[in-house]
Amino acid sequence: QKEVEQDPGPLSVPEGAIVSLNCTYSNSAFQYFMWYRQYSRKGPELLMYTYSSGNKEDGRFTAQVDKSSKYISLFIRDSQPSDSATYLCATDAGGTSYGKLTFGQGTILTVHP
C-alpha cells in the first residue's frame, strides 16, 4: 500500500464547475501538505501549502487537511480550461525528513469549454 493514495481519474468537468480533488495518507507523521499542478511534459508547480490541519484559500483554490481522518482535499471554484492538468498531492513528515516529499499518483483533470 502506498503512503499517499490519490484517485488517478481522469476527471472531466464543464467550465465553471467546482472541482474536488482528494488524497488519503497513512503515515501519521506527515505534517506538511501540498498540492502541485503539472502540465504535460513540464515540472510540477506548487499551488497550495498547508501545515497541519485546517483550510487555506488562495483565489479560486481552497486546500483542506483533516489529520484525524488523514484526508487532503483541493477545491477549484469556477474551473477554467486552463486548469486542465494533472494535480498531485504531496506530504512531508518534517523533522529529519524535511523536504523529502511523498507524492500521490496524480489526478488528471480536463475542464472543457
Partner 1 sequence: DTGVSQDPRHKITKRGQNVTFRCDPISEHNRLYWYRQTLGQGPEFLTYFQNEAQLEKSRLLSDRFSAERPKGSFSTLEIQRTEQGDSAMYLCASSLPPWGDTSYEQYFGPGTRLTVT
Site residues for partner 1 per CB under 8 A: 4, 6, 8, 36, 41-46, 49, 51, 88, 90, 94, 97-106
Report the candidate in 51, 50, 33 with the shortest Cα–Cα distance to residue 88: 33
Cβ at position 88, least distance to partner 1 in Å: 5
Cβ at position 89, least distance to partner 1 in Å: 8
User: 34 or 76, CB closer to partner 1?
Assistant: 34
Cβ at position 106, least distance to partner 1 in Å: 5
What string of H, E and C letters represents the secondary structure of 48-101?
A: EEEECCEEEEECCEEEEEECCCCEEEEEECCCCHHHCEEEEEEEECCHHHCCCC
